[in-house]
Amino acid sequence: MATDVRDLPRKVLPARLFQLIDRAGTTPQARQDRAKRRVQLVVGLLGLYLVFAYGAAVWTVVNKATLEKYAKGNLLKLTKIETRRGDITDRNGVALATSLSANSVSANPRWVLPPFIKVDKKKVSTTPVQMPFDSAEGIAFRKTITDRIVKLLGVSGKDEAYVREQMNRHDVAKDGKPTDKGVAFVYLAHKLTDKQSQAIREAIADGELPGITLEPRFIRYYPNNELAGPLVGRDNTTGSIEASFDKLLRGQEVEVWSYKDSSATPLYIDGAPDPSIFGGKSVALTIDEKIQAVAEHHLEASVREFEAQHGIAVVMDVQTGDVLALAQWPSFNPNDIETAPKYGLHNIAVEFQYEPGSTFKVFNLAIGLQEKAVTLEEIIPLGPMVVGNKVIKDDHPHAAVSGLQSLQVSSNIANAKIAMRMHREVYEKYLRALGFGRRLDLGMIGEGAGQLSPSEKWSLVQYANIAFGQGIAVTPLQMVAGFAAVANGGTYRRPRLIRAVQTADGKEEKLPTDVGKRVFDKDTTEKVLQAMASVCQPRSADGHSLGGTGTAARLPNYTIGGKTGTAQQANANGGYSDTHWVGSFIGVTPIEKPRLVVFVAIDTPNKFDPKLGKIARYGGIVAAPVVREIARFTLPYLGVPPSPGAPYLDRNDPEKAKKEDGERKLLAQKTAATMLAVANPQRTVADATPVAEGMARVPDVLRLPMRIVRERLATAKLGLAAGGSGVGVEQVPAAGEIVAAGTPVKVTFKRMSEVADARPPEPPPEDAAKPTDPAKPTDAQKPVNAVRPGGPAQPTVKH
Amino acid sequence: MAPIAIASDDDLELLEGFDGDDLSLSEQTRIQAPTSMPKGEAALVPMPVGMDWALFATVIGLMTVGLIMAYSASVWLGLHNFNGDDGHFLHKHMLHLSIGVFVLLIAIRTPYQLYRKVAYPLLGLSMVGLVLVLMFGRVVNNSRRWLGPFQVAELAKLAFVIYLAHALTKQISRQNAHKFSVGFLPHAVVWMVAFGLLMKEPDLGSGIVLAILLFAMTFIAGTNFSYIIGLGGVGVAALGVFIAHNPMRFARINAYLHQLLSVMGMEALPQEMIRGASYQWFNGHLAVAAGGLFGKGLGLSEQKLGFVPECHTDWVLSIIAEEFGLIGVALVALAFIFFIRRGLRIALRARDEFGRLLASGITILFGTQAAVNFGVVMGTLPTKGLTLPFVSYGGSSIIVLALAAGVLLNVGRGGNPDAEWSLPKLPRWFRREEKTARTGNTRVIINPSRATEGNR
């Protein structure tokens, strides 16, 4: 029997302590009292312990700073979501660049574990138990999951083996030896098709694929390949929309702090963010896909024919300043820039700076007329002209020319004389107002600024040279914008390349056209247009017309004016190169109510012309026909009514003349709007998804000339079964359908004049040419292009 | 301290001749001498506290906190492990709570004296249960603790309390409670059997709770303190040897010591421990630290996303700390301290010795569970699988503890010393005799809760 501490002598310390709470005594009262104290002691100790544990909690919180690094790294995860890059479309919504879903599927093989461990029937553990990576169950479970993935992806052979290998990969320790753990992150497959993505997404949502993640990824795709290739470009090609408007196009960098659970799956508080709403903005260009195609086609033909280095074509709507086509040749396919020539990776239409040569005389004349330094009728005597230490010469010497003829025959001496009549400061003011010597600020990377030194630094020779376009560097777009200012009645507008910007959620913001700034009076520009028209007039018997340099630009049904230019380019030594020439032609059409400026420059044509006895490098030969072809397609395409005063070509052939008469009559009867609507607006970027191997998507070939139809179908790996001639009016199968490659597409062609499109018209662009009624002619004014040998009297219009 | 009505032996003799009808209701209660009380103790007639509504409200309050936290802490588990069913655990918990509240209400109305009659059968039943668990139980997390949906160890705790209260009352009435042979040894043997069975599962936490109950209750009953120190010393030594020979447990104790140092800010917890033995504690610890003073707000815990294993059961306190901060933990701690305080009051004013021991045993059971759970989560005790009463998710725990709380409340009401074993009575609003009671039926006198209410 052990001794009760209470029976110990009081001097023993434990007994004394104990007696404080547990006094001796045998009466019921004492017992009860003792029991009471004992209960209080035990229960009180428990309470005290609770307080003590709470103290530990307080201490933990006080010292939390030491733990925060663990908590942050453990729990929060920064998920970067790849968002869709915006599309680039033409003005009608046809995709020039688009982003296609090409998701990747990744896995965390360590967490390829059953969602819960079944111990036996119906009974489960609440905590996921990590099975050893190399255990039989682990391998077996991974195999089932892998089989499922392989089945969902539909892969086989090498791809399947890759998936299986990745799923069973071991983690590697720091010393390079494989550990017994699985690797934490592997990719299983890339560039999934929509079908594969959908299958995987559904399986993950159903909880069938633990440890597997579908990552949104996109690839950039250019459904039209070379079409506007350098303009659309890639994000690493200069002067391209992709590079210059990258900030707009690029999707927002979405970084989501999400909770990361223990299996590293992100948990979003408000649900997974929808990547589509963070997508980049789509850019709608002012380019029209079909005009662009036609421009590229004819430009290529010319560059090939004249063995030139490259060519540039720009089409602009003079009323709005919209650039309808911005073509270059050689072009490149943004889908495949690796094989593109290095030179072709530039958008030279934007970057190219050159000495414009004779085309600049248009501005010279305009400034002269505006400043009343010259009139169209004034006769300017031409003799050898010495300026400083230089002699200014003409290629084709004349004794004297009128103001109008100074442009028609492109007399350097006459133009220099006109310029020298003005103060150089005044002259410079006009050039600056026309946008020369500074960047247009279209937002394009690598955009050329041209070069125009301040007038106080001009030497006399330089001043004289500027009058005929030497000693000044310009870009094609500057020239086009300047010509547009002359063509639209004197208002200079900055060219517009972006028509609208559309956010990912569909809100469209139209970019305004430049309100413009008046540079010339309407009176002046009408006179200049008259002079420009004369450039395209052949020599007349009465001597009124000396025969223009740009007769090759004449086209049926529409009047055209313009200016040729053949400019020697500066070389690196400060002189002029003998081999580097730019032959250009800038046309304005139709002349009585201008709608288009068409610019074509052919850089360094190199083909010997036996007729000329030298290399054909004149703008009138190499560029004017291209302008003609582009205008010939574009004007009816835009619904511009034919010019009542248009010249007949080849009036010596009565048959042809009669036919042309009929054509024009038909054209005039149909209003501009109903005759041709612009491209089918229903076509969207969804049409851009690539098709399977061996299949082809039928392109839209309606309203395109046969040569281009043939080309487009060939690009799409399809044949052509043509009927009739003219432009395509009917195609079977329809655009957008997917057929086997090589299938001939039946296209019915009709003469432009026979085309009657029943589709509701798109409202004509602001200030678009109103159809003129040939039934109500007026005789208020002489037609602009009055020189029309042998032609019947034509009704004239007031404009 | 609440007043204890004491009637001396002389008073009792005087009162015997009285006709009860001449006394007021309160006086009738005071003279009601419990017939079951041992003769020697009859002189001390304590005044039961009556129906302790504050304690009842605390229980319901803790259950409510448990209901909210059962969803908050288990939502990720449900999403992740049960095919996106976020309410998986909530729905089960609601079922458990419904059963628990029902059991609680029944137990409040069941005279606690009746448990003396089932003390041995209940103990035997739980022992058999513990054996059956070892034979047929299912293994979860390396432990075999579940017999069907039930954790027998939870029942064993209550059964052990009832058994101890009953057996010790017997010895007290025989004035043998301080003797080793009958006052301590038999109970120690019973505990050892139960402990052995629990260690086979293994469930060291429950075994230690039983040990604390054994020591505390024999101590309260008047066992010589030296026995407790002796057996406690032997037990601790045995445990030490056991731990030293079991590498896994040794690692845990080692981890615990590092945890202590880490909590005290004396060292950073080694990485291999964060990933190994201290993984659960460390993540719970992070949750407590992250919660700060005011917490992140309901539902905003991050550590519940699979980082704190068993965050809805044993470690729910860490999630409470993260979501409600120290304030929330303090409220829960205060609730338990209040519970203990009121349990103590009930025990001290219990009508009889059995009631006193039973009430203290149950209070100690609650107090131990809560204190150990707090201690484990806060890093002052090594990790044990003990639930936080009423707050943790877990059916067996909630139902058994609801029963225990009901018994405690009934002790407060004084039970019914004359109650015969019968089916539990229907709730008051179903009973017809209640109507007659108001009209002067003498049965009402033996309803002590009524009497004390009148006495206040």
Task: Answer whether B43 touches A (CB < 8 Å).
Answer: yes
CA distance A150 to chain B (A): 23
A718/B137 Cα distance (integer angstroms): 73
Structure confidence at residue A67 (pLDDT): 73
- Residue A401 dihedral angles phi and psi, to the nearest 5°: -135, 155
Assigned token pair, B154: 């939870």
Residue A783 pLDDT grade (very low, low, confident, very high; cuts 50, 70, 90): very low
Q: Listing from the earlier edge strand, what are the strands of the sheet with B143-147?
A: B138-140, B143-147, B150-151
Distance from CA of B392 to the nearest CA of A (A): 14
Q: How high is the pLDDT of residue A481?
A: 93
Q: In terms of pLDDT, which residue wins out, B451 or A231?
A: A231
Residue B67: pLDDT band (50, 70, 90) is very high
**DSSP-assigned beta bridge partners for residue A329:** A311
3-state SS class at A328? strand
CA distance B308 to chain A (A): 9
Distance CA A234, CA A401 (A): 50
Q: How far is CA A564 from CA A392, A416, A604, B278, in A?
A: 19, 17, 15, 87
Weakest mean pLDDT among A102-111, A526-535, B181-190: A102-111
* Chain B: closest CA distance from residue A44 (Å): 8
Residues within 8 A of A (CB atoms), B 392-451 only: none
Find out whether A520 and A300 touch, Cβ atoms under 8 Å.
no
The alpha carbon of residue B287 is apart from the nearest alpha carbon of chain A, in Å, by 8
* A16: pLDDT strictly greater than 90: no
A175: left (phi over 0), alpha (psi -120 to 50) or beta: alpha
- pLDDT over 50 at B8, yes or no: no
Question: What value does the mean pLDDT take over residues A302-325?
Answer: 91
B60 contact A CB<8A? no
Q: How far apart are CA B166 and CA B357, in angstroms?
A: 8
- A437-446 mean pLDDT: 86
- CA B165 from centroid of its chain's CA atoms: 14
Q: Which of A64-73, A597-606, A620-629, B395-404 has the lowest mean pLDDT?
A: A64-73
The interface predicted TM-score (ipTM) is 0.73
**B19 pLDDT band (50/70/90 cuts)?**
very low
The per-residue pLDDT for range B383-392, each reduced to its tens digit, is 888 899 999 9
Which of B84, B180, B222 comes nearest A1 by C-beta? B180
Least CA distance to A113: which residue of chain B?
B81
Residues 126-155 of A with CB under 8 A from B: 126-128
- Residue numbers in A near B292 (CB within 8 A): 61, 64
Quick check: B225 and A18 CB within 8 A?
Answer: yes
Q: Per the CB < 8 Å rule, is B139 touching A119? A: yes
Using H for helix, E for strand and C for coil, what is the string for A612-626? CCEECCCHHHHCHHH
- Reported as half-sphere exposure (CB side, CA atoms, 13 A), residue A769 has a value of 31
Residue A601: the pLDDT is: 93
In angstroms and rounded to an integer, the radius of gyration of the C-alpha atoms of chain A is 40
A34 with B84: Cβ contact below 8 A: no
Query: Is 70 exceeded by the pLDDT of residue A242?
Result: yes
- Per-residue pLDDT tens for A160-182? 999 998 888 888 877 778 777 78
Q: pLDDT band for position B399 (50/70/90)?
A: very high
For B257-289, how does the pLDDT look when each residue is reduced to its tens digit (9 = 90+)?
888 888 777 777 777 777 777 888 888 888 888
Q: Which residue of B has its CA nearest to A67?
A: B286
Burial of A651 (0-12, 13-18, 19+ CB in 10 A): middle
pLDDT surpasses 70 at A766: no
Residues from chain B that touch A124, judged by Cβ atoms under 8 A, are: 81
pLDDT at A603 over 80: yes
Residue B335, pLDDT > 90, answer yes
pLDDT of B112 over the 80 cut: yes
Dihedral sign (CA A344, A350, A354, A358): positive
B234 touches A at CB < 8 Å: no
Minimum CA–CA partner of A208 in chain B: B83
* Per-residue confidence band for B423, with pLDDT thresholds at 50, 70 and 90: low
Cβ atoms of A698 and A735 within 8 Å: the answer is: yes
What is the predicted pLDDT for the residue at A756?
A: 46
Would you call B323 an interface residue with chain A, using a CB distance cutoff of 8 Å?
A: no
| Cross-chain Cβ contact B337/A74 below 8 Å | no
Q: How close does chain B come to A3, measured CA to CA in Å?
A: 7
Tokens of B265: 């800010």
pLDDT for A626 beyond 70: yes
Q: Give B-chain residues touching A22 at CB under 8 angstroms.
A: 225
Report pLDDT digits (tens) over B138-175.
Answer: 777 677 888 878 889 999 999 999 999 999 999 888 88
Q: Which residues of A touch B293 (CB under 8 A)?
A: 61
- Does B246 contact chain A (CB < 8 Å)? no
Cβ atoms of A222 and A232 within 8 Å: the answer is: yes
What pLDDT is recorded for position B131? 93
Q: What values do phi and psi take at B136, rounded to 5?
A: -120, 0
The neighbouring-strand residues paired with A496 are A322
Contact status of B384 with chain A (Cβ, < 8 Å):
no
Q: Which of B441, B260, B337, B429 is nearest to B58 (CA)?
A: B337
Give the tens place of pLDDT for each residue, B76-111: 888 777 766 788 899 999 999 999 999 999 999 889
Instruction: Report long-range pairs for B87-94 (Cβ below 8 Å, ≥24 apart).
Output: B89/B312, B89/B393, B92/B393, B92/B395, B93/B66, B93/B67, B93/B393, B94/B67
Neighbour tally for A445: CB within 10 Å:
18
- Give per-residue pLDDT as tens, A388-440: 888 888 878 888 888 888 888 888 999 999 999 999 899 999 999 999 998 88
Chain B residues closer than 8 Å to A2 by CB: 180, 224, 226-227, 230
Q: Give which of B354, B401, B453 is closest to B34, Cα–Cα.
A: B354
- Who has greater pLDDT, B57 or B283? B57
Q: What is the pTM of this model?
A: 0.58
Mutate to test the interface with A, among B142, B313, B378, B411 (most CBs of A within 10 A): B378
Kindly indicate the confidence band of residue A131, based on its pLDDT and cuts at 50, 70 and 90: low
**Positive or negative CA dihedral for B194, B195, B196, B199?**
positive
- Whether the CB-CB separation of A473 and A353 falls below 8 Å is answered with yes
A160 Cβ contact list (under 8 Å, min separation 6)? A150
Q: How confident is the prediction for chain A on average, in pLDDT?
A: 78
In the prediction, which pLDDT does A266 show?
62
Q: A444 near A571, Cβ under 8 Å?
A: no
Contact with chain B for residue A7, Cβ under 8 A: no
Residue type, B408: L
The tens digit of pLDDT for each residue in A673-723 reads 333 333 333 334 445 566 667 778 787 777 777 777 887 787 777 888 888
Distance CA A46, CA B370 (A): 9
Stated as kind and residue range, the H or E segment containing A476 is helix A476-487
Q: Which of residues 247-306 of A touch B (CB under 8 A)?
A: 259-263, 267
Q: Taking residues A458-465, report their average pLDDT.
A: 89
